[in-house]
Amino acid sequence: MKKKTLYDLKNIKGKIALVRVDFNVPIENGKVTNNARIIAALPTIEYLLKNEAKIVLLSHLGRIKSEEDKKSKSLEMVANEFAKISSHPITFIAKTRGKEIEQAIKNMENGSILMIENTRFEDLKDGNIVNFESKNNPELGKYWASLGDFFVNDAFGTAHRAHASNVGIATYIKESVVGFLIEKEIKFLHDAVYNPKRPFIALLGGAKVSDKINVIDALAKKADKVIIGTAMCYTFHLAMGKKIGKSLAEPEKIDLAKELMAKYKDKLIIASDSVCALEYKDIKGKVYENIPDNLIGLDIGPKTIKTIKKELKGAKTVIWNGPFGVTEFKNYRAGSKAIADELINLKGAITIIGGGDSAAMAMEMGIEDKISHISTGGGASMEFLEGKELPGIAAINNK
């Protein structure tokens, strides 16, 4: 790896480590409902504690567009969850800058942890949207950088964004490295795409073709097969002249779908049948290849499942991004469940599930321990698969 890692740091005892983590976790009624991202950051934090650094954690939580948002998106709830699952005491400061933070850092003991408030609180000033964090305000990046001795970026989920808390700090601090989580993400995604064991199969779900045009193109050049399912397949169905009923599609992208099918005719596999319902509800559905006008497709059908199982037999590298049905509905998760069952039973294969909805789906299905790697970044993993440079990683010191 070209970028500096934790192992490149020397003599860090007593030094202040500014650590950008991705603690953007789901919260309901003041409680964290999924702590996977907190758990994913623990190896980096444990390493720094073992080496007696003083750790200052920075993270965002949701989007901040109003004073009301601030009330429900304080990181204090996340700090409490961190203390619970890590058994490490943590000091939380409900500020993003100022004397209170500076004094608290000055008073830190070796091997202690402090967390500052949601970095995106800096996107709002006096009730006005200023986007100091989200637009990488140089003065803010410089200020945060001044608080520490070195910077560790371990937030893969925001690595595709140039924010003050990643690119800004890395720009103005003397030494910057990536943490274990980003190092792991890069290794798995890079090896899968640029040095895959074959056969290499990519499964792409999601609602919009337009969101994943570049990913389809990039993966089709490298994979042996690219299988397209869920709502994204309906734009391709329109391009084939099939009926899609009330299913979600992008009619304006029909020409693009035709172009992709012609360009990769030996590689692209489009879901052929769907389980359909009268409306977007968790009610029992019927299977169609041409969907009647009054129905909506909510899952892949048995014919498509059979095709996918056949293609996955003997696969050695599989990347799966995007559920293949409305997995929050019990009646429409059979397609995704069938794919998951195939993946966890593949012998000697590298299996990778993309971030966002896909990661949540894997957790819900209880297969996270049986998959080689579950990415913590939705947009970041997509852009990496497209071959784009991620600014949050590019800003880190090279070895």
Q: How confident is the model over 167-178, as pLDDT tens digits?
A: 999 999 999 999
* Cα distance between residue 98 and residue 95, in whole Å: 7
95 has a pLDDT exceeding 90: yes
Binding site for substrate: residue ranges? 22-24, 37, 60-63, 120, 161
Binding site for ATP: residue ranges? 212, 297, 328, 355-358
Q: Which of 245, 325, 356, 392 is catalytic?
A: 356
pLDDT tens-digit map of 216-268: 999 999 999 999 998 899 999 999 999 999 999 999 999 999 999 999 999 99
Show the DSSP H helices in 34-151 as ranges: 36-50, 67-72, 76-86, 99-106, 138-146
Whole-number average pLDDT of the chain: 95
Question: How is domain 6-181 classified at the CATH fold level?
Answer: Rossmann fold (3.40.50)
- Same topology, domains 6-181 and 196-386? Answer is yes
Domain layout of the chain by residue ranges:
6-181, 196-386
* Cα distance between residue 90 and residue 104, in whole Å: 12
Amino acid at 128: N
Q: Evaluate whether the domain defined by 196-386 bears CATH number 1.10.10.10.
A: no
**Stated pTM of the model:** 0.90
387 has a pLDDT exceeding 90: no
129: left (phi over 0), alpha (psi -120 to 50) or beta: beta
Q: Which of 3, 37, 225, 267 is catalytic?
A: 37
356 has a pLDDT exceeding 80: no
Share of the chain above pLDDT 90, in %: 85
Binding site: residue ranges? 22-24, 37, 60-63, 120, 161, 212, 297, 328, 355-358
Instruction: Confirm whether 97 is a catalytic residue.
Output: no
* Cβ(358)–Cβ(373) below 8 Å: no
Q: Which of 70, 142, 208, 243 is catalytic?
A: 208
| pLDDT confidence band for 366 (50 / 70 / 90) | confident
Name the phi and psi angles at 358, rounded to 5: -65, -45
| pLDDT confidence band for 202 (50 / 70 / 90) | very high
The Cα diameter of the chain in Å comes to: 69
* Predicted local distance difference test score (pLDDT) of residue 360: 79
* Cβ(115)–Cβ(79) below 8 Å: yes
Instruction: Confirm whether 379 is a catalytic residue.
Output: yes
* Cα distance between residue 196 and residue 355, in whole Å: 19
Out of 54-58, 273-277, 309-313, 359-363, least confident range: 359-363
| pLDDT confidence band for 355 (50 / 70 / 90) | low
* Cα distance between residue 199 and residue 211, in whole Å: 26
